[in-house]
Structure 1
Amino acid sequence: MLDALAFTSPSVAVSTAFGLTDELLDRHPVLRLLPHALRDSTRREGRLCACESGDNLFATSPVVGFMLSGTLATFDDRGLACVSLLGPGATFGWETAFAPASGGRRLALLDSCWIETPVRGLRDAMGAAWLEHVFARHALDRIQRLQADSACHAVHPVTRRAANLIRRLYQAAGPDVRTTQSAIAEAMGVQRTSVNAAVKALERAGAVSLRRGRIQILCHERLAGAACGC
């Protein structure tokens, strides 16, 4: 398994492809708009990585990642609290341009695919000042997201938060959400029994149907109505 910080795990199946094509780079909104020097660097040194739902990722080297599909839950340095969700179009790893990889953990909530490229190539192509600007914007977005999540946790019950997370996974994966209640509970920082109660309520409401290792979305409108919407 790999993550945008070159995450590895003994249980991970990783697909890598060196010499990326413009067609592949254009699948990500940020890569599509990068300066030519950065696209050239990513095309030469980047690689395509993939992992399965439930895989854990641990940092080993400084790289920047660009999510193409799926969803990864990012945890704090101690691996205890989820601090962000990375879905299609997200980027991560910019901070490794200024500090060593901390060994933080990411949990795949869905089968996921992303492009990663070494930070050194971006630094060499654009310079430290450009990276500092990008990192500052990335850090501000992350702080705002943490503030919103903290407010959500304080105000909304687990049932509405669980419905909201499943709704976000639906947006990333479509109606067949290949994930587990254990992974959802871990990302939310709650007991699996609490998530099970919430999902059962959604099933009774006709919003979802439970399958082994997956949640089938039957009615997005009912799911959205049960979610907090944060």
Structure 2
Amino acid sequence: MAILEARNDADIDFGSNRLLDLMPRKARDELRAHGRLVHMEVGDRLFHAGKLVDQSYFPLDSTTVSLMVELDDDERRVEVASIGSEGAIGGIVSCGDLPAFTQAQVQVEGSMVQVPMGVMDRIKDDSPMVRELYCRYADFLLAQVMQSVACNAFHPIEARAARWLMTAQDRAGDRLKLTQDALAGLLGVQRTTINAVARQLQDEGMIEYRRGVIRIVDRDALEKRACGCYASLDRHFDKVIGDRNAAWMEQC
């Protein structure tokens, strides 16, 4: 894992991550005191399957991480969930440094807030609000995994690719640094299949692809091509987490 920048930072931009933005003041003070800002490159791994998870990460801005399940003795991997500035990685469901089931790999480089697991567990113990927030995000993350299973089983690769590109655009903007090999691995298909899909989407004017960079050209057309999984997950996030005006926050 390459860490280009690492420092204790009193000026963490909590507004750059939706979970951090909802944290109460006491939790923010703890994160300022014990968290650090790190910069990750594409391909960096936050943790490996079977290894203890001793850190939590909050992606900021466009940074995106994929949770990958390894198949066939590490020769093949497929993405089961992707996490950007709407969420966090590590310690979402479990308490303490338990082994990871998946591999967490950076897909879009950028900054994250890194927090020791012990600190994050203490914050959750001290704050009913943070515990509720994590429970609700765990619900959303599980929904994403279940939606991914259904999508991979029943939806055509063109619709799945369009959905993935729309989600990536939401997090990283119109210009995505992504090789076709990487996209094939994320979607669990052969590179030749992705070549054909990318060529079709480009011929229809939805994307432009050259030298490892995909640019979204026609969002509306891409949305029509995507499966309904994208909208379903977006609606579910708004229902279970929402923003500072959500009813559940008043109850906490």
- TM-score, normalized by length of structure 1? 0.83
- 1:52-131 maps to which residues of 2 (within 5 A)? 52-59=41-48, 61-68=53-60, 69-76=62-69, 80-93=77-90, 94-102=92-100, 104-127=102-125, 130=128
Deviates more, 1:79-88 or 1:35-44: 79-88
AA matched with 1:137: R
- How far off is 1:27 after superposition? 2.3
Query: Deviation per CA, 1:152-203, whole angstroms, max 9, x where unpaired?
Result: 1222111111121112111212121111111111111111111111111001
Deviates more, 1:95-104 or 1:174-183: 95-104
Residues 1:126 and 1:91: Cα distance change in structure 2 (over 3 Å): closer
Matches of 2:201 and 2:78 in 1, distance apart? Answer: 25
- How far off is 1:61 after superposition? 4.4
Matches of 2:18 and 2:223 in 1, distance apart? Answer: 26
Partner of 1:45: 34
Residues 1:198 and 1:150: Cα distance change in structure 2 (over 3 Å): same
Task: Indicate conservation of the 8 Å contact 1:54/1:179, yes or no.
Answer: no
Matches of 1:176 and 1:133 in 2, distance apart? Answer: 35
Matches of 2:165 and 2:123 in 1, distance apart? Answer: 39
Task: Indicate conservation of the 8 Å contact 2:63/2:85, yes or no.
Answer: yes
What number of residue pairs does the alignment pair up? 219
Residues 1:33 and 1:123: Cα distance change in structure 2 (over 3 Å): same
Point out 4+ residue stretches in structure 1 off by more than 6 angstroms.
none
What residue ranges of structure 1 are gaps of 5+ in the alignment?
2-11
Matches of 1:15 and 1:156 in 2, distance apart? Answer: 40
Partner of 1:186: 185
What residue ranges of structure 2 are gaps of 5+ in the alignment?
230-252
Partner of 1:8: none
Residues 1:63 and 1:13: Cα distance change in structure 2 (over 3 Å): closer
Residues 1:33 and 1:143: Cα distance change in structure 2 (over 3 Å): closer
- TM-score, normalized by length of structure 2? 0.76
| Cα-Cα RMSD | 2.5
AA matched with 1:140: D
Matches of 1:129 and 1:35 in 2, distance apart? Answer: 8
Indicate the percent of aligned positions where both proteins have the same amino acid. Answer: 26
Matches of 1:18 and 1:49 in 2, distance apart? Answer: 9
- How far off is 1:222 after superposition? 2.1
Query: Deviation per CA, 1:93-145, whole angstroms, max 9, x where unpaired?
Result: 12352452427422222223221211212333442784765554333222222
